[in-house]
Amino acid sequence: MKNRVILILAGLSVVSIVFGLSIFKGNKQVNIAPVTQARPQSVQGLLRQAQDLEQKADQIGLKAVYQKLINDFPNHKDIAGWQKKLDEVNLKIIFSPIVAPGLSQEYEIQPQDNLSKIAKQFNTTVELLMRSNGLSSDKINPGRKIKVWTGKFNLLVDKSQNTLILKLNDEMMKTYTVATGLNNSTPVGTFKIVNKLLNPTWYKAGAVVSFGSPENILGTRWLGFDFTGYGIHGTTEPESIGKQATAGCVRMLNPDVEELYSLLPVGTEVTIVD
């Protein structure tokens, strides 16, 4: 009988540990907290979180959820779609008034300020200042607080994949499909963007081909390297994207190169690898 009582008490102790019951030790009641084990979140659970955050327009939270999905389930059949959603969220954060710690800050406009001066001070672009602060013109009023980017953008072009990766402080922000040089002619190395042109003229073997001409294949933007004759530009031949098709430059769809044009200041580094 004594042994049976001991076994019953032992069983109660196990049950109390699992479910958080109270047991008695002598004349005192002792509460035992339940033992819980952290369970990994499921894909379905994370997607439900993402849906809820999207409805709340919580872009920072949404970014964290899609990053977790990609990190925790790298072999999932939907990972390409998650990466695309993460790219979209990253750009929404960049182009919004959201201040991301370590990447952007709030700045109060001073009496002698203009957007060009602020852009130069923080090594950003007028286009990004306008878009991320909802400005419809370059007129600004002293005392207003605006968001300015302090993070550093850079680009990585992978010729073997015909991809261009936009990075911010070395974190991947977005991946674009591009065209690179025919017969692997795009130069390898690290370059800097030294000039930016809107609706560029094409100087072709001594000929001058103005923007809008059917012979001008540069598209709507030019980001020139410190390697004469080479750069990143748009295209009038969208079917060439994803292939080795250029004379050595990096070619993008016009909406994509326009996006980069608004983000990248002169001096941005571009690394090209085989």
Catalytic residue among 129, 148, 249, 270: 249
Q: Check if the beta carbon of residue 173 is closer than 8 Å to that of residue 91.
A: yes
Instruction: Identify the H or E element spanning 153.
Output: strand 153-158
Q: Name the token pair of 253.
A: 């769809």
Going by pLDDT thresholds of 50, 70 and 90, the confidence category of residue 39 is low
Q: Please give the model's pTM, rounded to 2 decimal places.
A: 0.82
Residue among 242, 243, 245, 203 at smallest CA distance from 222: 203
**Bridge partners (DSSP) listed for residue 74:** none
**Bridge partners (DSSP) listed for residue 155:** 166, 270
Residue among 263, 267, 11, 268 at smallest CA distance from 126: 263
The residue that leads in pLDDT, 1 or 92, is 92
Percent of the chain with pLDDT over 90: 77
| 184: DSSP letter | G
Instruction: Identify the H or E element spanning 158.
Output: strand 153-158
Instruction: Encode pLDDT of 55-83 as tens digits.
Output: 999 999 999 999 999 999 999 999 999 99
Across residues 265-272, what is the average pLDDT?
Answer: 98
Residue among 178, 177, 168, 149 at smallest CA distance from 63: 168
Percent of the chain with pLDDT over 70: 85
- Phi first, then psi: give them for residue 194, nearest 5 degrees: -115, -15
CATH number of 153-273: 2.40.440.10
Instruction: Encode pLDDT of 136-181 as tens digits.
Output: 999 999 999 999 999 999 999 999 999 999 999 989 999 999 999 9
pLDDT of residue 100: 86
The residue that leads in pLDDT, 63 or 31, is 63
CATH 3.10.350.10 boundaries in the chain: 104-149
User: For this structure, is 233 an active site residue?
Assistant: yes
Residues 6+ apart with CB under 8 A from 249: 181, 186, 230, 231, 232, 233
pLDDT of residue 169: 93
Catalytic residue among 233, 261, 268, 272: 233
pLDDT of residue 8: 40
The residue that leads in pLDDT, 40 or 179, is 179
DSSP for 212-262 reads: T-TT--STTEEEEESSTT-EEE--S-GGGTTSEEESSSEE--HHHHHHHHH
User: For this structure, is 76 an active site residue?
Assistant: no
Could you please state the CATH topology (level 3) that the domain comprising 104-149 is classified under.
Membrane-bound Lytic Murein Transglycosylase D; Chain A (3.10.350)
Confidence check: pLDDT of 23 > 60: no
CATH 2.40.440.10 boundaries in the chain: 153-273
pLDDT of residue 32: 42
